[in-house]
């Protein structure tokens, strides 16, 4: 089971809700600066090298490139 599914089962929500809420204000979406701080913290904990001008786009591109050989239907699933 995927981690996101486990999280959603442990923290069920009804109706419109933020997938990435603010810590202080759970009814508000996380801001980009807050997301950046969490990403940098996660990269440091994983002991990943700091990539200059990296950001979230780097991970999206890596995901796309590593799955390029797969059919689109499988990647979407």
Containing structural domain, residue 14 = 3-76
> What is the mean pLDDT of the segment spanning 21-28?
87
CA gap 29, 64 in Å, rounded:
26
Residue 41 pLDDT greater than 90, yes or no: yes
- pTM assigned to the model: 0.61
Q: Which residues of 35-64 are buried (b: 16+ CB within 10 A; e: fewer)?
A: eeeeeeeeeeeeeeeeeeeeeeeeeeeeee
CA 13 from centroid of its chain's CA atoms: 19
Number of domains comprising the chain: 1
């Amino acid at each position: 089971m995927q981690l996101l599914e486990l999280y959603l089962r442990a923290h069920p929500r009804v109706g419109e809700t933020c997938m990435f809420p603010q810590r202080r204000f759970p009814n508000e979406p996380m801001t980009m600066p807050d997301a950046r701080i969490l990403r940098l913290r996660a990269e440091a904990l994983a002991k990943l090298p700091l990539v200059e001008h990296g950001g979230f786009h780097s991970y999206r591109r890596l995901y796309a490139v590593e799955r390029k050989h797969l059919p689109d239907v499988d990647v979407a699933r």
